Amino acid sequence: MALNFEQKQAIVAEVAEVASTALSAVAAEYRGITVEDMTALRAQARNSGVYLRVVKNTLARRAVKDTEFECMTDGLTGPLVLAFSQEDPGAAARVIKDFAKGNDKLVVKLVSISGQMLAPSEIETLAKMPTYDQAISMLMSVMKAPIQKLAQTMNEVPGKLVRTIAAVRDAKEAA
């Protein structure tokens, strides 16, 4: 069923709003994927905070115009599903990569982050990016390390004294 002008405008406005706040985007060709598999992909995306939408390429080009993902316009050809990361930059890449492991019909065509196009093979790199909580955890462990090392060093001085006195005591008892 063909879309009327108002419906097309609504789709473009919705995708443009999501693209303006998204952190990264992945476009993948979904030719040959069953409806059940596509439903599972949508559910997985929803649970991961990823906006997933199948949009006509002409509407997608208009939607990403004047956003960081304008670099994707030349590659928007064929049946594509667009995935935009809303919460953390690697979310869309993780969802698409994980789904593509079990379904070889989903082929990554475009990957973009911060206004830069990446090669489709670099989806692995984007997927390995830590989530916000993981990044904070890594930062805190790095900040904690020097203090922890100082505490261990300060604790070593009295510990060494106690071990030395115990060794002297054992030596006197043995003699």
For 19-69, write each residue's pLDDT tens digit.
888 889 999 999 989 999 999 999 999 998 899 999 998 998 999 888 888
Say which CATH topology domain 5-129 has. Alpha-Beta Plaits (3.30.70)
Residue 151 reports pLDDT greater than 70? yes
The pTM of this model reads: 0.74
Distance between CA atoms of residues 107 and 20, nearest Å: 25
Distance between CA atoms of residues 68 and 9, nearest Å: 20
Q: What is the reported pLDDT for 83?
A: 93
Strands (DSSP E) contained in the chain are: 24-29, 50-54, 80-85, 107-113, 116-118
Residues paired with residue 110 on neighbouring β-strands, in sequence order = 27
Distance (Å) of CA 107 to CA 9, 104, 142, 174: 28, 7, 38, 76
Q: What is the reported pLDDT for 102?
A: 85
Q: What is the reported pLDDT for 123?
A: 86
Q: What is the reported pLDDT for 147?
A: 86
Q: What is the reported pLDDT for 73?
A: 87
Q: What is the reported pLDDT for 1?
A: 60
Q: What is the reported pLDDT for 103?
A: 86
27 neighbors 109 (Cβ within 8 angstroms): yes
Record the tokens describing residue 52, joined without a space.
Answer: 């997933």
Positive/negative CA dihedral, 26, 54, 75, 78: positive
45 neighbors 37 (Cβ within 8 angstroms): no
pLDDT band at 118 (very low <50, low <70, confident <90, very high): confident
The average pLDDT across 130-138 equals: 85
